[in-house]
Structure formats: structure tokens, C-alpha cells
Amino acid sequence: MRLSEVAGKIGGRLEGDGSVDIRGVAGISEAGEGEVSFIANPHYTDEAAMTKASAVIVSENWNSACSAALIRTKNPDEAFTKAAGLFYTPPARPAKGIHPSALVAADAEIGENVSIGMLCIIESGAEIGAGTVILPQCYIGRKAVLGEDCWLYPQVSLREGVRIGKRAIVHNGTVIGSDGFGYTVDAQGGRTKIPQLGIVEIGDDVEIGANVTIDRARFGRTLIGNGVKIDNLVQIAHNVVIGDHAVIIAQSAIAGSTHIGRKVIIAGQAGIAGHLHVGDGAVIGAKAAVTKDVEPGVYVIGVPALPAAKFKRAQAGLMLLPKFKERVAELEARIRKLEENR
């Protein structure tokens, strides 16, 4: 495809030779001849000056050096995604139907145009929505329900009764519906398991990363809203409720019965204690330890988590302590002198 054609299809303004033949996209420092790259993060400005790419997608007001043709656009990140789509052949959809090696219960309800891969297990009473793809070695428990057009990567486990909406994507090794962690303790410290009677219910358009764990409710439902995106190795405990369009980055954990508002963003390795409310649109910083409710729209960081400005002030104070100590020592010396001179 000619560069001019790429620029046109992504809605950008070309500065440079539009006749160059483009065959793919790549990162700014890896791209070579015939490839389009992009700069969305000022971090990479230096790399632009010596990129080997044939063209670079930049913002409207870009004015740094670049060794390649430019495609100016309002949102370089978005435009690059479009460009990538021009050259991307999505993984072939597996053949429709049930692979002969899969074990599907006679009373499972399998929708139209479903693909069930090699060595999958679909237990009794499960329902698989039309157009859904289940890749090899997945386990779908009794009466679990998967909506239309979902895509499960290999080795996903859905425990009994789990309900997932439409267009979900679930990556390898993820477990949905494992028992919540709950015990009563006797006087000797022995623990008796509290039966985990509930389910997990997941809305539409949710994506869940690899090796994630989402526990079923003690009773009622662990609830994941529409459009929620969950990264790898995240832990979601029993009875957690997650609002629509929330985002949860890798290795974060949400303890039991906590409610996460709509559009909340939880950065990597954060932890949120149980029985809390995190308001709509709040942002939880990476590695933060949330121990109290968070108001809507507030950005918290730290261990324990504080509003970011407060945390940064405390942190700055900490860094100034050595200097501060000198000031107090000096004060002590001066006061001693004054006292001697009295």
C-alpha cells in the first residue's frame, strides 16, 4: 500500500513522499524501510530524529527533528492503531463446530456457529451463546453461561454457575468462580470452611487477562460490569462489585465485598481492602494500599493510600529531613550561645 493511501485511510495529513510502498508498522526504534511508526509519548522524541521508519505518525503541532516522512493527526496513538489494522491479519477463526476430542454434555445448550476446540470440556446444563469461540483445553462447569461472540483462549476454567455476557475475551489460564476465601475460627484456631454459595456474573464487552482469579460470592454474586478490562494475574475476591468501564492493571487485588465505581482505574500491584467503596472515576495509583473509602474522581497513591497531593507533600518532607535536621542542630547551637550570653 502506498504511503499516501495509508495517510488517507487513517485521516492524517502527509508531509513527504506519498509514493513509498508500505508493508507494515513497528515501534519507533525497531521500524525499518517500508514501515510506519508513531510518536505519542514525548519520551521517544529523540528516537524520531534517527528512526529508520519510512513515515512517522505525529501530533498536529509536532516540531522536532524526524528522519522520516510525517503523518500529522490529532491522536497519533489512535491513528497508529488504525494503521496497524490495515496490515494485520487477525488469527484465523477456528472451524465452526465441536472438535471430536471435546467432551460436551448431552444437555449443554450450544448456540449457532460456535467453535469448541480440542479437549474442551462442557459440563451438564452449560449454555454457549451463538458465535462464541472456545479454544482448546478449556473447562466450562455445570450451568455456566457464556454469551454470544465470546472468545476463550486455551486452558480457561469457568466454575459451575458462572455467567458471562456478550463479546467477552478471556485469556489463558484464568479461573472464574473459584471459592471465596472464608472460614469461621474456633477457640483452638481451627478453621471451618464457609460454603461459597454464590456465583460470578460478568457483563458485556469485558476482557480478562491471563492467569487471573475471580472468586464466586459467599452468597449472591461477585459482579463485573460492562466494558471492564482486567489485566494479567489480578485477584478479585468474593462479593466484589466492579462498575462499568473500570480498568484493573496487572497483579492488583480487590478484597472481599468492596465496591469499585464506574470508570475507576486501578494501576498495577495495587491492593484494596475489603468492605470499601471506591467512587466513580477514582484512580488508584500503582502499588497503592487502599484502606479507606475513596471519593469519586480522587487520585490516591501510597501505603496507606492518600490523595496524591498529600502523599507527595509527605514524601517531599521525608526527602528534606536530613537538611531539616541540620537546621534544628543549628538552632540548638544558636540558642545555646544566647543562653550563655544572658
Report, as residue numbers or ranges, the catalytic residues: 238
CB of 70 to a second copy, least distance (A): 19
- Of 149, 271, 282, 300, the one binding a second copy (CB under 8 A) is 271
Residue pair 32/16 in contact by the 8 Å Cβ criterion: no
- Of 197, 292, 297, 309, the one binding a second copy (CB under 8 A) is 197
- Of 127, 251, 295, 308, the one binding a second copy (CB under 8 A) is 251
* 330: exposed, middle or buried (Cβ count in 10 Å: 0-12, 13-18, 19+): exposed
Residue from 53, 42, 44 nearest 16 by CA: 53
Question: What is the Cα–Cα distance from 217 to 240, expressed in whole angstroms?
Answer: 8
Secondary element (H or E) of residue 48: helix 45-49
CB of 93 to a second copy, least distance (A): 12
Q: Which stretch binds a second copy (CB under 8 A): 7-15, 66-74, 126-134, 175-183?
A: 175-183
102, 134, 154, 159, 216 from 98: Cα distances, Å: 7, 10, 15, 20, 28
Interface characters, 132-151, with a second copy (x: CB under 8 A):
----xx-x--x---------
- Of 14, 289, 298, 308, the one binding a second copy (CB under 8 A) is 289
CB of 241 to a second copy, least distance (A): 10
The single-letter code of the amino acid at 200 is V
Interface characters, 297-336, with a second copy (x: CB under 8 A):
-----xxx--------xxx-xxxxxx-xx-xx--xx-xx-
Instruction: Give the footprint of a second copy on residues 204-233 (CB under 8 A).
Output: 205, 207, 209-213, 215, 218-221, 227, 229, 231-233
Question: What is the Cα–Cα distance from 198 to 210, expressed in whole angstroms?
Answer: 23
> In this structure, what are the phi and psi dihedrals at residue 167, rounded to the nearest 5 degrees?
60, 25
275 lies in the binding site for a second copy (CB under 8 A):
yes
All residues at 6 or more sequence positions from 245 whose CB lies less than 8 Å from its CB, including other chains: 225, 226, 227, 228, 262, 263
- Of 16, 45, 72, 250, the one binding a second copy (CB under 8 A) is 250
Nearer to a second copy, 112 or 315 (CB): 315
